[in-house]
Amino acid sequence: MYDPFIYHLWRAYPATTRADRPFFALSNRLYSTDGNHERFFVHPQFSLACQQHDGDDTYLTVLEVHAHCQLAFVLGCTYNDLHGCYVKEGQVFIQYALVYAPKGEYDVRIAPGVVKPNLIENF
């Protein structure tokens, strides 16, 4: 499958760097991922962990963000795609939304604080 998202963090936060490990303890871990499917981004104002797994029928992305301020950046969708978005509360994914996103770039805003793992499933 393909990587469905491009995180344009450097446009908004030029001091962002890639790291080889997360700068916080991950709340959840996709144990089937390998180093090629984990990305960690670090900035003085935030840390972002992205884990991905290319399944047989879906592509899973798990995001966790630790932000010291409100974040605003561009997220690129590489193809027209249907995304199933889950939000985790405690140990259970309780909110779900199906989102159709045409190929393009979208503004993303994240409130300060810790955004626990969010699962995005691409069909």
CATH number at residue 36: 2.60.120
Residue 9's pLDDT is 93
Average pLDDT over residues 56-84: 85
Residue 21's pLDDT is 87
Domain count across the chain: 1
Which region holds residue 10: left if phi is over 0, alpha if psi is between -120 and 50, else beta?
Answer: alpha
Reported as a single tens digit per residue, the pLDDT across 39-68 is: 899 999 999 998 887 777 777 788 888 999
Average pLDDT over residues 8-27: 91
Average pLDDT over residues 97-115: 86
d(CA 114, CA 37): 22
| Range of lowest pLDDT (9-23, 56-70, 107-121) | 107-121
d(CA 91, CA 27): 10
Residue 85's pLDDT is 75
Give pTM, 2 decimals. 0.79
Q: Angle at CA 117, nearest 5°, toward 90 and 30?
A: 105
Q: Which domain holds residue 21?
A: 5-122
